[in-house]
Structure 1
Amino acid sequence: MSSNESNKYFDLHTSGIGYLNRIREVTPEKGTPFLSVTISALHGSVDDVHYAHFECPVSGKKAQQVVRQLTPAVEGKLKVLVGFTLSDLSAESFIHKHGDKAGQTGVGLKARLLRIWWAKVDGQPFFKEQESAA
């Protein structure tokens, strides 16, 4: 649980490993523009990997810096694998508008990207968060 002087919150954090995709600046009609990404998180057996796709505004300051540094690699279609922490997971239903699933209901997962612990580009180390002295 986290708190400040007047409010207390129950934090729900999700950690995982996944591929970074679709880095973009989102400019809402009302509100402040923000950095957003899609993370294709890996789960299941290493012999039969499954993916969960998360649409994420990038909230953490350090995460924003790392994502901006990784943008050229993602835009260059390189494989960018990251260790991450998400917060405020939610699901949102939608209707597919195109393709084989047109007219069917789908579910999108959303969360805030708080932290990137490490990143690899095409299997090569790119970033690793430094351990902080406690």
Structure 2
Amino acid sequence: MTTSNERSYFDLHITGLGYLNRIREVKPKKGDTFLACDIAALNGPSDDVSYVRFDIRVSGSEAQQLVRRCIQAVEDEKKVMIGFRLGDLWADTFTYSKGKRAGEQGVSLKARLLFINWIKVDGQQVYKAEPRAIETDGPSSPVPAQAATEATPEQDAPPAPAAETVVNAATQARVPDVAESF
């Protein structure tokens, strides 16, 4: 009989698209500084869209690089939309200290940004992740690379995304402040 000390995990991922806002470095009293942002995710029917706000800790190393490259566009109040994957969702309650709602309870949805599929700035695509390679588990059964690593301890870190690609040179010319960094 063999016993294993390996832990297995059940992941809950959120995929969607939304607008990137409030990119910032957070310096907690205890612990290391980390990159954070807000995502206003689109939800509901396309003719009556509502938004769900997520307060995000940017976790993946490639996601960190991509978010940092969007700082100037967000500061210039350009519309930066991303296709994303979030993990480790949790709700945080707080009390408003200012404004009309001072003293009222509020809820903030928090998560980790694991992966960015694509980025558009003012409607022009400036980044698209390349499709992931498919591994085979024998001569006739293809298994995606991500499925091959499920339930392993390394799941705290997302699988390394494929190298980034810039859509085309014309897109770079239309969005020089963001595209130059790609």
What's 1:28 paired with?
A: 28
Name the structure 2 match of 1:38: 38
Once residues 108 and 55 of structure 2 are traced to their aligned partners in structure 1, the CA distance between those partners, rounded to angstroms, is: 8
- Which structure has the highest helix share of the two? 2
The 5 A counterparts of 1:12-27 are: 12-27=12-27
Count of residue pairs the alignment pairs up: 130
Q: Deviations over 1:14-71 (max 9, x none)?
A: 0011000000011111111110010001101222211111111100111111101111
Match of 2:131 in 1: 131
2:34 aligned with 1:64: no
Shift of 1:93: 1.2
Which aligned pairs between 1:53-92 and structure 2 lie closer than 5 A? 53-92=53-92
List structure 1 runs of 4+ shifted beyond 3 angstroms. none
What letter is aligned with 2:92? E
CA distance in 2, matches of 1:98, 1:33: 26
SS in 2 for 1:63: helix
The residue that corresponds to 1:11 in the other structure is 11
User: Gaps (5+ residues) in structure 2?
Assistant: 135-182
Q: CA deviation at 1:131?
A: 1.0
- Structure 1 unaligned regions, length at least 5: none
Q: Match of 1:9, SS? A: coil
Q: Which has the higher strand share?
A: 1
- State percent identity of aligned pairs: 53
**Bigger CA radius of gyration:** 2
